[in-house]
Structure 1
């Protein structure tokens, strides 16, 4: 075992990009180390407090899904690549109809030639609405709005809202801050 410690002053406040670049880039970049596994990472509370955190949390998700007093049950749509928009929406419907509270797009699903984002959003929301009608429960789908530009991401998020989505997702590696 090896313990590596850094002073908090070496990191920009609230910057996940800076923190991960230091850990992943520097620590895992040691050429002298042939095999390295990160088993634990302890971040001082004072540094954690510099992060804004998400605008909403699990309480808001529970309110939107009207699910309290039990675990939320969700999954990622699989297969993640290769389905048409219509078949993807069918998987969303079947998963939600089968008892899931929500489904989410895989991070690899963006807007590929076999399934463009707008088509996927429409069929996903159709599946969400059909499953909600069939079960009498509120259902959800995290639509991946990740794109190559921030303008495209806003366009996708606004479109998702326009067709009834109350939640979207952005890939973690988009830039963090």
Structure 2
């Protein structure tokens, strides 16, 4: 809130997927507080009172930390269009180099945005959407192979209770 009040434009707000843990609902509430003009109370999302930001400019949420092409459906669903997705190792770890890693991430993102805009459910169809897109992108297919078994599964430390 202090960043938004002082004119900041972006902040890392948790990722939910990847290695930087965070509860999904709390992260979604945080993203609402960053971007929306008016946010209703919703204790399940960590919003304990209604907040009217009037027309104060929003802040863009940033996601990073162990994210790769297989996380793209969840990232698209959680953060939508107005966000920064920082793929460090998810780009640089591509077996063919940095540029193909960037291509793989971009193809995965565009496939997820297209699927979402067509009304497909990213939560249930995400892996299929990525596999489908990898048929048309050798870069994405290679990235899918590299990251297929990389998971960060541990409980969130930052919880509402």
What TM-score, normalized to structure 2?
A: 0.35
Q: Bigger relative contact order, structure 1 or 2, given CA contacts below 8 A and separation 6+?
A: 2
Whose radius of gyration is greater, 1 or 2? 1
Which structure dedicates a bigger proportion of its chain to helix?
A: 2
